[in-house]
Structure 1
Amino acid sequence: MFGATKDFMGKPAPPGYIAGLGRGATGFTTRSDIGPAREGPTEADIARLQEQAKRKAAENGDDDDERYQDPDNETGLFNAAPYEADDAEADQIYDAVDAKLSERTKARREAREKEEQERLIKERPKIQDQFADLKRGLNAVSAEEWENLPEVANIAGRNRKKASLREKFAPVPDSLLPRAQEEMATTLDLQPNGLVTPAPGTMTNFREIGEANKQVLGLRLDRMADSASGSTTIDPKGYLTDLNSIIVKSATEIGDLKKARLLMKSVITTNPKHAPGWIGAARLEELAGKLTEARHIIDKGCQMCPTSEDVWLEAARMNNADNAKKILASAIKQIPQSVKIWQTAVKLETTMKTKKTVIRRALDLVPNSLVLWKEAIEMEDDPNNARILLARAVELVPQSVELWIALARLETYENAQKVLNNARKMIPTSHEIWITAFCLQEANNADADRLERLVGVGVKSLSMHESALSRDDWLTEAEKCEKNGYVKTCQAIVRATIGMGLEEPDFKSTWMEDAESAISNKAYDTARAIYAHALKTFPSKKSIWRRAALLEKSHGTATSLEELLMRSVKFCPHAEFLWLMGAKEKWLGGDVPGARAILDAAFVANPNSEQIWLAAVKLEAENGEHARAEMLLANARVKADTMKVWMKSAVLERQLGKITEALQLLDQGLVKYPTAEKLWMIRGQILVDRGDNQKARENFTKALGHCAKSVPLWIMAARLEERAGLLIKARAKMERGRLLNPKSPELWLESIRIELRGNNVNMGKTLMAKAVQECPSSGLLWSESVWLETRAQRKGKIVDALKKSENSAHVLITAARIFWADRQVEKARTWFLKAEVADSDLGDAWAWHYKFETEHGDDARRKELIVRCKASEPRHGEYWQDVAKDLKNTGKNTGDILVLVALSLPSNVVP
């Protein structure tokens, strides 16, 4: 299409016109605009102009004489005067006066500058300020409205009158179509059923032309296919494989090959006995694709270097198997002692019988080769033949530890002892032979004393030959023995070497580190032996008994744990942990009388122990013996008068429904312990349950007076006001609590939720912004901030939350719930597992995971989850504590609590 001629074409531009100025372009100046450069003024002109300037300044009284310069710049009259202390003091006084004057006018100056800035913004506002209100309104635009926005079109010149233009095109003449049809038909006539070429001048038939195109395409495809008659020479299956075998060399590669041939030829000509030269020349021809020439060159190399095993091996590699065997036979005649040639000859054999024949012939010629003996022994399937070969091998290669140990393992107990004794004589510095002897004694039921004596003799013998292992190496060998099933040997090695190279002050710390290292390597028997030796040395160390007990609990049996605990309390009768652990294990095992007996013995040893009293109370209360529990608590309040005893007493009375007695106990306890926040909390809960809000409010007021740092008390007081409909008071409580407890994420979270429950979402978001600034690493706040975002923005927010909270368990749970809502089951399960690992004490993580598995998992997964939860024994969490501390759930185990918490979770996966 052609456009109309513009009326401004060929006319001069208006003055001051800059192309593109309307769309923001800026003009520039070129040399063509300013013309050629001119010569500058001469020196005479410059002097004349300077003289005129001085004369004019003198007439105007503007004298720049240095005498009248400002003395402050130190370049005038006083430039040469000394700067003394009084001068410095004067300068300081003047600076102070200037600062004072500036401070007095600072407020007026700042107000004037601010007013000036606001005036300028109003007069010349920025584009982003003009459209700020419109931008804020864009968040209400839906996706459908965005999609329905019209496309921006070019509206330049829309109102101009366009000249009527007709579309011009040049049609293809009909004479070209018959000609094309003739060319196609000429090819088609070669086929039996081809089309007949039409006569010139006939009418064009487009249908026939289309059919002709289809048949031509079909013919081309048929040529590429494998015909049934086999007339086609192209194999479509092997075509790409054939292409791989074609080596296309450029001129550069050919030139490089020629240079390399000259170099290799020079090498083998000047030094024909140089084996690497022959190998390099042969490999060059092989790389060039001339395998025959390469074989010819390497054959010459074998003749020129008959004693080089590398040349013979290269020649064997370049030939097929039959020729390679002949080449290696010639090589053996030249170099009968070459182990590599014998190994290659064995590999070329195809049957086991011929392999054995070749390897035995090799051993006849090279009887001291350890490699050949190993291959010969590995080929034997019959243990008797292998034993015979090993017996001969140790005679010919007596310094091989591997052969001696292999022979000892194939012999009987008596013969193995003889073999190992001979091995120790031949190789007295080998610790492997001694350890094999230790394991042999254990395998034949040697008693512990005999084994320990043998280990001591072995360690002493190796020390005499200056080849003894270090203490760490001996412990490593002990772990290897344990993994091979020789536990007694492991323990004997530990007892004999655990103190090597150590001084007495370092015994305990070093042994504990060794035990932890063994546990991390899953060598539990080694760690058990270390603890046993440490307890024998330090029988009164409670920390060692504790570590040993935890090891038995995790990786031992109930019997071994019970025996260890019974021994521990004899040496450490005042270790409350050991008594309680023993009683708990008895109780978990169903032996309640046995647990009572242990606690009775613990009372004798520790009559004033709070933990033992409370453990006895818990045992009786959870087994239905409430009267005994009340009696124990009454005695405990006399003998072990602690805040926790008073609290447990009130809790027990509350569980039994004796509210009056519980309040009396709380009042008595608060007289003794006025700062006990838990006593105030229980009292407040009882009053709230009874509906006495006024007394509950008074209770919390008194409690906060004594326990102003207690976060749960502030939360409970605020919730009381909120339930009463006094939202302003609840807000005031939280503000007061945050003031006294800065950087408390729980208080910030409760403040935010109070606003959200009051349908004040904007205030909640404002508080959240302040909260994450004051508590930037709180996972509790970051997880809640994710739910305040829209669904589209949550995934972006969760990334920031994970970074800022350092992978907090709360944030991990939130991420898992988002994946759960998106039906990404495996990702959600992975993130729930991460939350368990991050904080196993957070019961909410286990509960959300269990709820997820009830929907997307199976019974096996749920059972495994309950087992892991019981092992972790979680105690914290918003939903977990609400259920676990409910009086209706008293006495239920961790698994039952987990199921109840999962049922109490919100029905919606995401809010």
Structure 2
Amino acid sequence: MAAKDKPNKLAFLSMPAPASYVAGLGRGASGFTTRSDIGPAREGPSAEVIAEAQARRGEEPEIDPDQFQDPDNEFGLFAGTTYEADDEEADRIYEQVDKNMDARRRARREARENEELAKYRAENPKIQQQFADLKRGLAVVTDEEWESIPEVGNLTRKKRKRDERSFVVSDSVIVGDRARTEYETSLDTRQQATGGFETPAENGTITNFAEMSQARDKILSLKLDQASGTATSTGLQTAIDPKGYLTSLDSVVIKSDAEIGDIKRARMLFDSLVKSNPKHAPGWIAAARLEEHAGRMVAARKMIKQGCEQCPKNEDVWLEAARLHNNDDAKVILANAVQHVGQSVKIWLAAADLEHDVKAKKRVLRKALEHIPNSVRLWKETVNLESSAVDARILLSRAVEVIPQSVELWLALARLETPDKAKAVLNKARKAVPTSHEIWIAAGRLLEQEAYATEKPQEQRDKELAAVDKTIEAGVRELRRHQVLLTREQWLKEAERCENEGAIRTSEAIIKATIAMDIEEEDRFDTWVSDAEAAEAKGNVGVARAILAYALRVFPDKKSLWRKAADLEKAHGTKSVLPAP
């Protein structure tokens, strides 16, 4: 009877699980839901379903604002028509037809969705269904098997901390370790007999450590002498500087393994490049510089020599070869380069730079002018080496004959000539280069220089300075006639440059001739005031004074303009009145 009343421990397996039950939660598992549990996504509820749910909850359905629209006030295509009884009946019929069609489609749609869901369930069953047979197998598990299931913590692979073990050290080890760091401060009888420097060996002989130390010092000294080149008995001479040897070690670059690997890869790439395209000069130059960077100067020179043989018409290869060699070898290389690229200005200039004597440089440059007479740079370098003004003048006279279009050479020749001859030179330059504004400005500066050169009456000086204004005005007209239209800003920059170089009157003449260019009549006042302020901010007081003087001649009744001119003179000028424009 007692056995029948005993409760069954496995009765819970046939009972429904609680609502919040999660299998394995006690062993650390957590519940989750996958798409296989809930099936594929479906469309949301229809409007009718939402309305029924709201009605069950007692909520008021949303009212369409157009639901109770007055039929007589329709808008759109039928806004002007009359809504009659037959229209209302037609609308009711159409609405009923739409409901019937929707009911038919809804039944068909639900049938199709149920078919798709069943097919999906068959292909992708839920996790619960997949493990259903395993769950049914749990019914035959006994209590002993449940209890034999290991705990979760026993399955981890963490290393357990072992207990520290200790051992007892014998006394002999402790005493021996203590005696190892002790020092004897007294000599025994045998050491006292030899003075402490000699100890008997095992075979009965005596070893002298003092002589061994001296012999070691002698050997070291001999090796150092041989390395420094002072030992001549063996005939071994080296180029090592004994004083600067350690200092020279600072310049040695120690390359890492990564850098060495990069150099090797780059060397392979450059080798492939020069072999596939031997006429490509930059490839030879890059390969030679790589070897130079790696510290292999012999290989770099050999590489650039091959480049010179493969690309003899390229000036950069010859220049790189000259750079990689010493001074004497570079002269020979550039001499060979001239045979192939005699029209290269860079080759001749590099050859001149290798010469340390001025006469040798002149000789090289004059030889270069024989090959390239139309090079302005070669003429300028040759003239700069001349210490005599007479010789420089002769060279420039020849240069302007060969290159009449060079404004720099004409102006340089005019600076070396006397004032009378300089005028003739500038007239020739103006005829040779009629489109150059620098020549007209140089002519104005020459007239200004003559006006202030000697003491003369003020009337005569004013007359000569007036010629400066006429020259600049004539220059502006001639430039326009030859279609050379400099902007107003460019003329202002030229005026500022003249003032900075001391030609104040020429600067004022440029302002008078060009300040009114490219300006509308209604914008003249504001533009001139802003130009004067900008010139004053830059420190060009003469330009600002000339601009204000010209503006006062055009606007004599502007009080603000007179005040600005007075403030300018107060800050940078004298207490005298503003000079007449």
Assess same fold via TM > 0.5: yes
SS at match of 1:468: coil
Please give the alpha-carbon distance, in whole angstroms, between the structure 2 residues aligned to 1:405 and 1:376.
16
Alpha-carbon distance, 1:233 to partner: 8.6
Following the alignment from structure 2 to structure 1, what is the Cα–Cα distance between the partners of residues 443 and 430?
Answer: 10
Matching residue within 351, 354, 361 for 2:360:
354
Deviation for aligned residue 1:375: 0.8
Alignment correspondent of 1:455: 472
Q: Which residue does the alignment assign to 2:337?
A: 331
> Counterparts of 1:544 and 1:494 in 2: how far apart (Å)?
17
Structure 1 counterpart of 2:176: 175
In structure 2, do the counterparts of structure 1 residues 508 and 79 end up closer, same or farther at CA, with 3 Å as the change threshold? closer
Distance (whole Å) between structure 1 residues aligned to residue 514 and residue 499 of structure 2: 16
- Residue in 2 that maps onto 1:261: 267
Q: Which consecutive residues of structure 2, in runs of 5 or more, have no partner in the other structure?
A: 1-22, 39-51, 70-168, 200-212, 229-241, 452-462
Task: Spell out, residue by residue over 1:379-421, the C-alpha distance to the aligned partner (whole angstroms, 9 max, x if none).
Answer: 1121111111111111112111111101101101111111111
- Given residue 318 of structure 1, which amino acid in structure 2 is its aligned partner? L
Taking a change above 3 Å as real, the CA distance of residues 479 and 257 of structure 1, as seen in their structure-2 partners, is closer
CA–CA distance in structure 2, aligned partners of residues 340 and 484 of structure 1: 32
**Pick from 62, 67, 70: which aligns with 2:58?**
70
Alignment of 1:727-876 (within 5 A): none
Q: Is the 8 A contact 2:447 2:465 kept in 1?
A: no
Q: 1:84 to 1:357 in 2, by over 3 A?
A: same
Q: Quick one: structure 1 residues 258 and 184, their matched pair in 2 at CA, closer, same or farther if it must change by over 3 Å?
A: farther
Quote the offset at 1:306 in angstroms: 2.0
Alignment of 1:647-666 (within 5 A): none
Shift of 1:66: 5.1
Deviation string 1:229-287 (CA, Å, 9 cap, x unpaired) is 9789998975474154153341x544444443333333333433332232233223223
- Provide the rounded CA distance (Å) in 2 between the counterparts of 1:424 and 1:176: 105
Change (3 A) 1:184 1:392: farther
Q: Distance in 2 between matches of 1:516 and 1:304?
A: 62
Instruction: Please give the TM-score of this superposition, normalised by the length of structure 2.
Output: 0.60
Alpha carbons of 1:511 and 1:180: their partners in 2 closer, same or farther (altered >3 Å)? Answer: same
Q: What are the Cα deviations for residues 765-813 of structure 1, in whole angstroms up to 9, with x where unaligned?
A: xxxxxxxxxxxxxxxxxxxxxxxxxxxxxxxxxxxxxxxxxxxxxxxxx
**Residues 65 and 424 (structure 1), Cα distance of their counterparts in 2 relative to 1, 3 Å cut:** closer
1:303 to 303, 309, 328: 309
Given the alignment, which residue of 404, 414, 430 partners 1:424? 430
Paired residue type of 1:288: A
- Pair 1:194–1:470, CA change in 2 (3 A): farther
Measure, in 2, the Cα distance between the counterparts of 1:310 and 1:482: 42
Counterpart position of 1:509 = 526
- CA deviations 1:90-119 (Å, max 9, x no partner) are xxxxxxxxxxxxxxxxxxxxxxxxxxxxxx
What corresponds to 1:277 in structure 2? 283
Hey, what does 1:395 align to over in structure 2? 401
Could you list the per-position Cα deviations for residues 149-185 of structure 1 after superposition, in whole angstroms to 9, with x for gaps in the alignment? xxxxxxxxxxxxxxxxxxxx99994533554568999
Contact 2:24 2:30 in 1 (8 A): no
Distance in 2 (alpha carbons) for counterparts of 1:440 and 1:33:
106
1:248 maps to amino acid: K
Over 3 Å counting, the alpha-carbon distance change for 1:40 and 1:513 in structure 2 is closer
Larger Rg: 2
Equivalent residues of 2:396, 2:413 under 8 A apart: yes
1:67 Cα deviation (Å)?
A: 4.0
Q: Is 1:527 paired with 2:551?
A: no
Among 474, 485, 491, the alignment partner of 2:491 is: 474
Q: Cα offset for 1:437?
A: 0.4
Alignment of 1:564-579 (within 5 A): none
Check whether the contact 2:511–2:546 (CA below 8 A) recurs between aligned residues.
yes
1:465 counterpart residue number: 482
Query: Do the aligned partners of residues 38 and 537 (structure 1) sit closer, same or farther apart at CA in structure 2, a change above 3 Å counting?
Result: closer
Alpha-carbon distance in structure 2 between the residues aligned to 1:388 and 1:458: 28
Quick one: structure 1 residues 394 and 181, their matched pair in 2 at CA, closer, same or farther if it must change by over 3 Å?
A: farther
* 2:491 aligned with 1:499: no
Q: Whole-Å Cα distance in 1 between the matches of residues 543 and 372 of structure 2? A: 44
Q: Which residue in 2 is equivalent to 1:34? A: 26
- C-alpha change, 1:80 and 1:239, in structure 2 (3 Å) is same
Whole-angstrom distance in 1 between the partners of 2:429 and 2:504: 24
* Structure 1 CA distance for aligned equivalents of residues 290 and 570 of structure 2: 69
CA positional deviation for 1:312: 1.3
Instruction: Say if 2:525 and 2:551, in contact at 8 Å, map to a contact too.
Output: yes
Task: Find the counterpart in structure 1 of residue 346 from structure 2.
Answer: 340
Pairing of 1:104-253 with structure 2 (within 5 A): 173=174, 175-176=176-177, 178-180=179-181, 239=246, 241-242=248-249, 244-250=251-257, 252-253=258-259
Change (3 A) 1:559 1:363: same
Q: State the distance in 2 between where 1:176 and 1:195 align.
A: 28
1:273 partner SS: coil
Which amino acid is the alignment partner of residue 480 of structure 2? S
Indicate how the Cα distance of structure 1 residues 515 and 244 shifts in structure 2: closer, same or farther if over 3 A, else same: same
Change (3 A) 1:176 1:184: farther
Give the conservation status (yes or no) of the 8 Å contact 2:383–2:396: yes
1:292 equivalent to 2:334? Answer: no
Q: TM-score, normalised by structure 1?
A: 0.39
Task: Return the letter of the residue paired with 1:34.
Answer: G
Aligned length: 396
Q: Which amino acid aligns with 2:373?
A: P
Structure 2 CA distance for partners of 1:34 and 1:183, relative to 1, 3 Å: farther
1:314: how far off? 1.4
Bigger helix fraction:
1
Q: Which residue of 2 aligns with 1:685?
A: none
Q: Secondary structure at the match of 2:313?
A: coil
Structure 1: gaps spanning 5 or more residues: 1-30, 47-63, 86-168, 198-218, 568-911
Mapped to 2, the partners of 1:496 and 1:296 lie a distance apart of 64
C-alpha distance in structure 2 between counterparts of 1:442 and 1:459, whole Å = 18
* CA-to-aligned-CA distance 1:194-218 (integer Å, 9 cap, x gap): 9999xxxxxxxxxxxxxxxxxxxxx
Higher relative contact order, structure no. (Cα contacts within 8 Å, ≥ 6 residues apart): 2
Show the counterpart of 2:563. 546
Aligned residue type for 2:26 = I
Residues of 1 paired with 2:179 and 2:551: CA distance? 107
Aligned-residue sequence identity (percent) comes to 45
Equivalent residue, structure 1, for 2:328: 322
Q: Secondary structure at the match of 2:343?
A: coil
CA contact (8 A) 2:429 2:439 kept: yes
Distance of 1:532 and 1:259 partners within structure 2 = 72
1-structure distance, mates of 2:379, 2:275:
41
Aligned to 1:828: none
- 2:473–2:513 contact (8 Å) kept in structure 1: yes
Q: C-alpha separation between the residues in 2 aligned to 1:301 and 1:406?
A: 41
Q: SS of the residue aligned with 1:447?
A: helix
